[in-house]
Amino acid sequence: MTTRYDTLTHLRPGGAQPSKLLETAPNPYADRDYTIDISTPEFTCLCPVTGQPDFAEISILYVPDQRIVELKSLKLYLWSYRNEGIFHETVVNKILDDLVAAAAPRRMEVVGTFNVRGGLKTVVTARHEGGN
């Protein structure tokens, strides 16, 4: 039996590897504004200078349009940064850019709240308003 979700490759057995592929599904309520709020306290990436791990909570808040982000693909996408050297500002903006490219939301905000390192706490917020 074929469903409209057959193209979601990460939901198949063996699909649990880090991946930059963000998959989407049709929004069943595209005729209304509603908010989807997703967060993970387990995000990690590496400092591009020292190679030391950086830990953060990543929060994604968006109003979808025609597509919604498939959650397992998002999990694997975020996991793909685990061994990548990247600055806090860059990774938050890259996540926003990639999610906007994949799902074309009406509005989206990505917030990275990074754990204290060297006595400094960093919070990076990036926003997209539809049409930008």
Supply the residues annotated as catalytic.
Answer: 47, 54
Helix boundaries (H) for the chain = 71-79, 88-103
Taking a C-beta distance cutoff of 8 angstroms, is the pair 63, 8 a contact? no
The CA distance from 5 to 16, in Å, is 17
The CA distance from 111 to 103, in Å, is 18
